[in-house]
Amino acid sequence: MSSLFVDRLLLSFNNVKHRLETLSNLCHTYRNASPVGDDNLDESDRFNGPYLSDIEELEKSIEQISVLIENLQQEQNSTADCREFLNYPLCKNGWTLKDIEQLEEEQYLNLDILNQLSLHTINEDDTQFNEQEHNYVDTNSSLTCDTNNNLLNLPPELLLHICSFISPFELLTNLAPTCQYFANFILTRVYSHLDLSKIISVFDITHLLSYLSYLRSIKFIDWENDISILTWAIWFERIARTTSDLYTIRFHNVLISPILICLIIEYFPHCLQTIIFDSQQNKTYEKFDLVLALLADNKIQLKNITASYQLGITSFGIFELVSNLNTIVELNLLYIEAFDDETIKILCDKHNKHLEILRIDGTQLSDKALEYINYCRKIRSITIEVCTNMTGSNFSIFQNFCNLKELCLSKLTIIPLESFQLLFNRKHIFEHLIVLKLDECHSIDDNCIQAIITMCPHLIDLTCSWAYNLTDDSFNVIVKQCRYLRRLSLLGCHQIFGFILKDVPEKYFHTIEYLNFEQCNQIEDHILYDLYKRKKSISIYNYYGFSIEDDE
């Protein structure tokens, strides 16, 4: 007996195997010629992958997917007489061939699933309903009032208009569980984002995913190593057959594997634009070079990648990613030390017409990297952590980004005052800049702060840490002139006394929401306590990094 669903799974698994074998061959080609193991690599080779352990990981993945293919084929080819004996669990989640075949059958949605879902996974702020994306009736048109009609009798267009006044959270928790009609209507016509955690069983999730035809983004939370490859494939197959508009996938505390990445590419090549890997808290995958190399496919539409704080990334994975993707709009690879000037050059040469957000580690970057970034004139957000090899002589390059909204530079310990003066030289106004973070900027003085405030008139978030030369003169300028500021961090500025805070928020800082004075030993706690009493909506942190609210 043959199942179309099983046939599709087998086809996908064979494609995954082929993709893994292709990368394995590539890794063998680029393998470091040194015969030493990964543990004995010299410092110069530390960022030059792929490693021998990467190839071993791929071989293990190829073996794993081969076993799964063999088991599925054996179960599918079994005769009716022995099907009862061979229909054993195919993975740790308990899937059998019978379970998979039954997925093709039409089933009613269990409304208890919606109640479970609403307890944990729905965030009202994360899900927005845009009625303009739907065609709804003109509310000014004449409608005949019939007191015998109820909501179930209304046309779908009018129901959509009514739903536009209700948050998705309320729709899911209050309206959807009332009946099958509303459950189906809301899931297929309104609901666009889903957070999935272990509060729901893998089988209920599979059934739920068959209804989310309006799904645009999904976040998998805290699954760690609980999900088998077969379950991932079934979930992705359900999503791909239900919607062709899944734009974003996010993983939070989920154990990543090469097979998982191959499945994503297999099922969402034409729609997926954003993939986010949050920093893993427990079981961290240490071969993330393979993840980047597998995502480096010029046949997919991926444009936005976040893989900051991940382990095992070398210049090989980054090179494959930036060389092979057709378009990169956003790239977040913070604390990935493998980035060097040459990689930046390749990135900017290919993606200079599209790159808008760049957040990277600058440990190996020199001033030359900024010259390459200068070609990316669409940049609106740039973060470079650990600028220890930069002199700042060409910081004026940041003035060339007309749409720059966010500029974050850290470890600016050797950058001279002249470089900051060149950047904020009173010849260029950063009209759109709302976030400015300068970390460990030892050389900045009061005059430089005055120039920053003048040239960046719309700041909402300002950080200037360990600026030893700052006094109350510059702090007073910030308080009096930053009319839109919501967040301010002055970590380690030990010459600031902060007396002007006595006039906040009555005269100044009307919009302030966050103040960080950690390691500012001249600001006395009673000033901060009095400020908190006057405006308890402000989050204030004292010298010790404690919240004033918590201390009180």
- pLDDT digit string (tens) for 125-163? 444 444 344 443 344 433 444 545 566 777 877 777 777
Is 405 within a domain? no
Say whether pLDDT at 103 is over 90: no
Any idea which of 19-33, 97-111, 514-528 has the lowest mean pLDDT? 97-111
Stronger pLDDT, 261 or 168, i.e. the higher one: 261
Is 129 within a domain? no
Residue type, 190: V
Residue 1: what pLDDT? 45
Structure tokens at 146: 């019939």
CA distances from residue 61 to 71, 75, 256, 290 in whole angstroms, order as listed: 15, 21, 12, 11
pLDDT in tens, 436-475: 999 999 999 999 999 999 999 999 999 999 999 999 999 9
Is 214 within a domain? no
Residue 140: what pLDDT? 43
* Cα-based torsion angle of the residue sequence 335, 292, 381, 403 in order, rounded to the nearest 10 degrees: 160
Report the predicted TM-score, pTM, of the whole model to 2 decimal places: 0.85
**CA atoms of 298 and 249, how far apart (whole Å):** 19
Any idea which of 76-80, 486-490, 546-550 has the lowest mean pLDDT? 76-80
Question: pLDDT tier at 349 (50, 70, 90 boundaries)?
Answer: very high
pLDDT in tens, 280-328: 776 678 899 999 999 999 999 999 999 999 999 999 999 999 999 999 9
Is 481 within a domain? yes
Is 496 within a domain? yes
* Cα-based torsion angle of the residue sequence 118, 119, 124, 127 in order, rounded to the nearest 10 degrees: -40
Any idea which of 117-121, 221-225, 437-441 has the lowest mean pLDDT? 117-121
Is 228 within a domain? no
Residue 195: what pLDDT? 84
The distance from CA 462 to its chain's CA centroid, rounded to whole angstroms, is 23
Residue 129: what pLDDT? 40
pLDDT in tens, 375-389: 999 999 999 999 889
DSSP designation for 503: G
With pLDDT > 70 as the criterion, what percentage of the chain qualifies? Answer: 82
Stronger pLDDT, 400 or 222, i.e. the higher one: 400
Say whether pLDDT at 191 is over 90: no
Stronger pLDDT, 96 or 86, i.e. the higher one: 96
Residue 55 half-sphere exposure, CB side, CA atoms within 13 Å?
Answer: 15
Q: What's the domain range around 485?
A: 470-551
Question: pLDDT tier at 218 (50, 70, 90 boundaries)?
Answer: very high
Structure tokens at 124: 């009202």
Count of domains in the chain?
Answer: 1
Say whether pLDDT at 51 is over 60: yes
**CA atoms of 127 and 170, how far apart (whole Å):** 11
Q: What is the mean pLDDT of the chain?
A: 85
Is 500 within a domain? yes
Is 497 within a domain? yes
Residue 282: what pLDDT? 67
DSSP designation for 364: B
